[in-house]
Structure 1
């Protein structure tokens, strides 16, 4: 299960965004959706078209994930909202942390049962106020993890029984079991990444159950075995890789979001593609995406 990358990462959309995040392949659109948190943008990239699209969000936005009945759930600083791409509208669903105005939502995934899992974080990236939530059938946000400053993930194993989430500043990727009630149990350290190697950002899981971790300020994406063994490192020409997503008809095209908000003017000269959308190919596919069926 090593050396699965078959091409070098190349920039496919020169956005120069401060903080691209949350890539997700939406099969019904045959397109990649992702966000620029700091620019308050939603982006759609169709690999077969030269006409990518963008929408304005009403504030910082951490993710958009598709709903089975149509449209998307958007993770805004103010809370969860339904986003309708047809008219660009946002309809509030629930605010999980009305008592924490300095927090925002950051990353998310959907489990095989159609349940939304998402994280919050301190927008100042200092206080341990972020946690991982599950959206319940009654639109109640259920906290499932201890508090940290910056959450990333979650991501799920192919069988949906193991959930991975990241304490970015702590440099730790955790694995948890998902019990029958939809709660996280048996939390354990899956991988630890020293800060000098980069900060672990968004995780994604492939069909072999291997966990891919984007490294912020680490110039790379790492692939770990289900046992937490480092298998492969894919190097990038930019320093901050926030997350990957598997796409294309065979789920063997990897899209990677990147950032440049940390770069000085001099650093931007040496990283002209920082903040772009990248693409490379692999010989082990990702997992098919699941549509949100609960809580919306």
Structure 2
């Protein structure tokens, strides 16, 4: 499968670009800059770019079934109205952990939102995976880690992938129809010289794509956990891939400038930008978050 070279398509120079999601009803890509408290919308057909100020760190935005969005703020899940730019708090899963923040999320076919938390200082193992199911938040039951990432759902809805970034591990977890989870197993382990696994997403063939922080690449894993392909970037910190475009074969990648000093950035002038490349395979049509 031939892959095109990633090209910078939006020069946002994000401190911590994350959470790309293709919103089919708008034919637009939404993503965030966590540390700059920004939500971005990009229409690749017209080049139109809009940004919205969030009240605090924002880990993700996802389309919801009321025509608006849910957002993962530092202090919990919120409603986001793209017409007014207003955020309204809904649920704080960890009021006893003020040092945590929400980090990454996905929606399964039933409209359940799977989202992780992490220690904002990136030291304590206080990050957990949660499920927002019809407006109620419940724990996933998976063990805590310092930085949760992913999660991603297989095309058949039977496997949830969950990333332990600092542990350099991606886990595969059986998922039942009711959203309960089985026992996690190690799906892939990333070598130290290859960086840290960041956000991940599945394509329509059941392969898993993971951004590699500090690895200068995104990696495609086969369902058995073997490395199928790699896409090299001109920047070090690849955070997450999303499939978009009319046929869902354009791969968009968020990147980050966080942790890079001026000397390093001089050699990576495109760091923090939004990239795109032809993935040669389609993604999975996105689901919308179910609020009830």
Q: Structure 1-normalised TM-score?
A: 0.97
Match of residue 49 from structure 1: 46
Superposition pairs of residues 146-161 of structure 1, within 5 angstroms: 146-161=143-158
How many angstroms apart in 1 are the aligned matches of 2:47 and 2:286?
A: 24
Offset at residue 100 of structure 1 (A):
0.3
Match of residue 22 from structure 2: 25
Is 1:61 matched up with 2:52?
no
Please tell me whether the aligned partners of residues 127 and 149 of structure 1 are also in contact (alpha carbons under 8 angstroms).
Answer: yes
Superposition pairs of residues 83-102 of structure 1, within 5 angstroms: 83-102=80-99
Please tell me whether the aligned partners of residues 130 and 137 of structure 2 are also in contact (alpha carbons under 8 angstroms).
Answer: no
Offset at residue 141 of structure 1 (A):
3.1
1:161-195 deviations in Å (ceiling 9; x for gaps)? 10001000000000000124312212100000022
Question: What's the C-alpha RMSD, in Å, of the aligned pairs?
Answer: 1.0
Which deviates more, 83-92 or 137-146? 137-146
Query: Structure 1 residues 213, 138: CA separation in 2 closer, same or farther (over 3 Å shift)?
Result: closer
Match of residue 293 from structure 1: 290
Tell me which stretches of 4 or more aligned residues in structure 1 moved more than 2 Å. Answer: 140-144
Offset at residue 138 of structure 1 (A):
4.6
Please tell me whether the aligned partners of residues 4 and 284 of structure 1 are also in contact (alpha carbons under 8 angstroms).
Answer: no
How many angstroms apart in 2 are the aligned matches of 1:83 and 1:294?
A: 13
Match of residue 206 from structure 2: 209
How many angstroms apart in 1 are the aligned matches of 2:134 and 2:70?
A: 14
Is 1:119 matched up with 2:116?
yes
Is 1:246 matched up with 2:247?
no
Match of residue 175 from structure 2: 178
Please tell me whether the aligned partners of residues 9 and 276 of structure 2 are also in contact (alpha carbons under 8 angstroms).
Answer: yes
1:208-243 deviations in Å (ceiling 9; x for gaps)? 000000000000000000110101010000000000
Offset at residue 4 of structure 1 (A):
4.4
Is 1:222 matched up with 2:219?
yes
Offset at residue 17 of structure 1 (A):
1.0
Match of residue 79 from structure 2: 82
How many angstroms apart in 2 are the aligned matches of 1:86 and 1:259?
A: 27
Please tell me whether the aligned partners of residues 134 and 144 of structure 1 are also in contact (alpha carbons under 8 angstroms).
Answer: no
In the alignment of these two chains, the number of paired residues is 292
How many angstroms apart in 2 are the aligned matches of 1:148 and 1:73?
A: 24
Offset at residue 48 of structure 1 (A):
1.1
How many angstroms apart in 1 are the aligned matches of 2:177 and 2:220?
A: 29
Please tell me whether the aligned partners of residues 80 and 95 of structure 1 are also in contact (alpha carbons under 8 angstroms).
Answer: yes
Q: Structure 2-normalised TM-score?
A: 0.98
| Secondary structure of the structure 2 residue equivalent to 1:134 | strand
Please tell me whether the aligned partners of residues 78 and 104 of structure 1 are also in contact (alpha carbons under 8 angstroms).
Answer: yes
Match of residue 129 from structure 1: 126
Question: Which blocks of at least 5 consecutive residues in structure 1 are unaligned?
Answer: none
Offset at residue 131 of structure 1 (A):
0.8
How many angstroms apart in 2 are the aligned matches of 1:208 and 1:143?
A: 26
